[in-house]
Structure 1
């Protein structure tokens, strides 16, 4: 295990499209969370675009 902070980054996404008949289709929402180890506690959000959460 790396020393320092353990940051969790969560991303949520969905897709929308139009079928051949012109109906709007929306997918279910998908969520993924990853853990990034290392670094200083106060750099977690800076290093990950403002989205990291120190745990």
Structure 2
């Protein structure tokens, strides 16, 4: 029984802050991805303006 409690404690300690770590990295990746999409959109708009695209 003592071994089962010890394994449970090791498991809980190992995964205690894992959710925060995953969420923090997910938001960081999402922010960079959003910034990259804005830069690509801005590039496409400026390319169309400088090449004389008619926005009719």
Question: Could you tell me the TM-score, scaled by structure 1's length?
Answer: 0.22
Q: Which has the higher strand share?
A: 1
Question: Could you tell me the TM-score, scaled by structure 2's length?
Answer: 0.22
Q: RCO greater where, 1 or 2, for CA within 8 Å and sep 6 or more?
A: 1
* Larger Rg over CA atoms: 2
Q: Which has the higher helix share?
A: 2
